[in-house]
Structure 1
Amino acid sequence: MNIGEIAQRAGVARSTVSYVLSGKRTVSDPIRQRVLAVIEELDYRPNAAARALKEGRTRTLGLVIPPATQRLTDMQLSFVASVVEAAAHADFDVLLSPSGGDHDRSFERIVTGRRVDGVLLMEIRLEDDRVTRLQQTGLPFVTIGRTADPHDMWWVDIDYTILIARCVHHLADLGHRHIAFINRSTELVAAGYGPGHRALTGFREAVSERGLTGVDACCPDEATAGETCLGQLRADHPRTTAVVTINEAALPGIQRALERAGLDVPARFSVTGVAARHWAEDFRPPLTAADVPTLDMGAEAVELLLARIAEPEASPRQLLHAPPISLRASTGPVPRNPG
């Protein structure tokens, strides 16, 4: 069965059937219903378009991810997996679309192409053009992360300011006075990446409150960069006895740098931060950290989006996570003879 046979049975032109399926042009309701009746009778399903037109939905959610040219971190992949699983439980498919750089056309097709019922947006910046574009279209969307002014939005996020501050206070309670913070990449932070800015704020506020000496550095999301970054920090600031990080991809390199320097953890150096649980548990010794609940957050984001699709005029809902610090084995009292 093809479009020509559908057109013949419905008594319309082939182009009319195409317009009904694509929605590119307006077709009068009687003719549209006649074409849809033939489509249903013949069970013609070249794609999801016919069902989408009948139900007014595609039963597909768009998930906008970082550009495909960048390697996704394990935390990002965990969010993707949790969103796909939660959507499947609700009988929805997920259409992945990169954004940024050369991928703006892909994002625009998601926004305007009637391919999805709603959008989930990851890796939010404090000022995010993608958020502005979605607000203009009226397409339901939920963000994993939040902008600088998120009050009228639907979102789920981690309270990086509070969590990094807690890590600093934990180290200060152990007697550490010289602490370093390893952030995400320079490019991300310069672009206004929300977690990077909020974590840095939490670090500086806690350092000031406790009267500590604090230094911070940006680091690309890779182990070799983590090794280089920690080595440079210790060279420039030899009195540093502890490090806090949100850059989980750099953790293996941080561990290698400490081993190479002969600094036993936590006897001579302490490490803590915010990371997905498996990163924390794979660190040696296991990392004292705030464990990011990626599975819960992905499921919550899907739940919020489905609620927004069902009730477009509902008041915005937000979920801000601040999980407790899981005390493992990577932090200890400040060494008597640092270095």
Structure 2
Amino acid sequence: MATMHDVARLARVSVSTVSYVLTGARPISQATREKVRAAMAELDYQPHAMARGLASRRSRILGLLLPIDERGMGATETAFVTGAASAASAAGYHLVLSPVDADDLDGLRRLASQRMLDGALLMEVQLEDDRVAVLREAGVPLVLIGRTGDTTGLSYVDIDFDRTVRDAVAHLVGLGHRRIVYVNHSATTIAEGYGPALRTRDAFAAAMAEHGVEPLMIPAEDSAAGGRAALDTAFDRAPDLTAVLAMNESAVFGILSGLAGRGLTVPDDVSVVSMVTSPQVAELATPALTAMTSPGSALGRIAVEALLCHLEQDSAPIHQQLLPCTLEVRGSSGPSGRPTGDAAGDDEQETQPAAALPRDGGPRGVPARYSRGEW
């Protein structure tokens, strides 16, 4: 097995020069750096990671802090991880997944105090997320994949939920749908302040108001059973619904089975659109799901690149970027075919259009009772 001395001898440089090339501790000319790297390649030299870390005072390890419950990770979440891992590897770093629970602040403090991580990526971000303060106090550079309510001084990448929801609603309204139900994450998740659940809730109300249509949101547990229960609630409140918009992959499959159990076909009777979904998940359904495809892999990559800028530059600029999901039309959405209360003249389920409701402080003209989560 080749050693650093072997590399130095073949490259005709000092051992310290080889060390500087590996660690970046001192500037080395491009010609010398290429000569050392050519010698390393010829000898198949593999630097000792621990020794290299000690010399540079860096571990070359990035932590991906992603709370994982009993559901594990689906294909959509995995895309964020693989995108981040690929970018870290390309830069000579290792990405380590740490499933520290969002409420386990003591566990996070222990992890940060061990100085194993050069930097951290934070996922499943809440609007008020105490993990940010813990990492800042520990001096761990961080980038959020998601956003807190106050993003001052924080680098983040996130999905543009406003545009994503507007595009999804526009797709369904353009097909003639007027009774659209949004199936969100669970009531508990919303109450805990999970950013995507709250942002899509408010964006849905705003988008529906722009089209003069009453918004109806139903929370659902992240399971097939939760999807079926949410569908039952939706039909209780809007028997003439013609479309379901969902941001809950586990629940979507329960929604599809629930519709079939009612003798309704997709999309002839009810259209279904899934938001923040990977093509792999969309293709599992029958029919394949029309989806707002998640840019997860790109967000993971950009987050790592932003974090590396903070590690390599003392005064790196704050990076804040949003990417929308992309509409991919498959077999689960089509023109509205079922008569609604508007079309049939049945006013039993009629409600006042969102555009005519009192506007007393909600975002973008949305009634404040919606933005406060009272629906």
**Category of TM-score, reference length = shorter chain:** 0.7 to 0.9
Structure 1 residue 254 corresponds to structure 2 residue 261: no
Within a 5 Å distance, the mapping from 1:228-239 to structure 2 comes to 228-239=229-240
Check the 8 A contact 2:81/2:297 in 1, yes or no: no
SS at match of 1:282: coil
TM-score (norm 1): 0.80
Cα RMSD between the aligned structures? 2.1
Shift of 1:235: 2.7
Within a 5 Å distance, the mapping from 1:35-114 to structure 2 comes to 50-67=51-68, 69=70, 71-100=72-101, 103-114=104-115
Shift of 1:336: 4.1
Change in CA separation of 1:324 and 1:101 when aligned onto 2, cut-off 3 Å: closer
Counterpart of 2:207 in structure 1: which amino acid?
A
Check the 8 A contact 2:295/2:324 in 1, yes or no: no
Change in CA separation of 1:312 and 1:110 when aligned onto 2, cut-off 3 Å: farther
Change in CA separation of 1:210 and 1:104 when aligned onto 2, cut-off 3 Å: same
- Correspondence for 2:326 among 324, 327, 331: 324
Take 1:131 and 1:102, find their aligned partners in 2: how far apart are those partners?
A: 12
Within a 5 Å distance, the mapping from 1:248-287 to structure 2 comes to 248-274=249-275, 275-287=277-289
Deviations 1:92-127 (A, max 9, x none): 122222233674333212322110100011011111
Length, aligned pairs only: 293
In structure 2, the partner of 1:294 is 296
Deviations 1:57-92 (A, max 9, x none): 000011111145553343223322332232222221
Check the 8 A contact 1:64/1:96 in 2, yes or no: yes
Check the 8 A contact 1:268/1:338 in 2, yes or no: no
Take 1:264 and 1:197, find their aligned partners in 2: how far apart are those partners?
A: 30
Structure 1 residue ranges without an equivalent (≥5): 1-46
In structure 1, the partner of 2:156 is 155
Change in CA separation of 1:144 and 1:224 when aligned onto 2, cut-off 3 Å: same
Shift of 1:249: 1.7
Structure 1 residue 174 corresponds to structure 2 residue 214: no
Take 1:289 and 1:154, find their aligned partners in 2: how far apart are those partners?
A: 28
Shift of 1:308: 1.2
Check the 8 A contact 2:266/2:332 in 1, yes or no: yes
SS at match of 1:213: coil
In structure 1, the partner of 2:313 is 311
Structure 1 residue 227 corresponds to structure 2 residue 206: no
SS at match of 1:124: coil
Deviation above 4 Å: which 4+ runs of structure 1? 47-50, 67-70
Structure 2 residue ranges without an equivalent (≥5): 1-47, 342-375
Deviations 1:125-166 (A, max 9, x none): 111101122223332111111111224211111011221122
Take 1:291 and 1:230, find their aligned partners in 2: how far apart are those partners?
A: 23
Check the 8 A contact 2:252/2:274 in 1, yes or no: no
TM-score (norm 2): 0.73
Structure 1 residue 139 corresponds to structure 2 residue 136: no
Take 2:214 and 2:153, find their aligned partners in 1: how far apart are those partners?
A: 38
Take 1:312 and 1:278, find their aligned partners in 2: how far apart are those partners?
A: 40
Check the 8 A contact 1:161/1:200 in 2, yes or no: no
SS at match of 2:228: helix
Counterpart of 2:165 in structure 1: which amino acid?
I
Shift of 1:53: 2.7
SS at match of 1:289: strand
In structure 2, the partner of 1:16 is none
SS at match of 1:207: helix
Counterpart of 1:308 in structure 2: which amino acid?
H
Check the 8 A contact 2:102/2:131 in 1, yes or no: no
Aligned-pair identity in percent equals: 37
Take 1:101 and 1:64, find their aligned partners in 2: how far apart are those partners?
A: 9
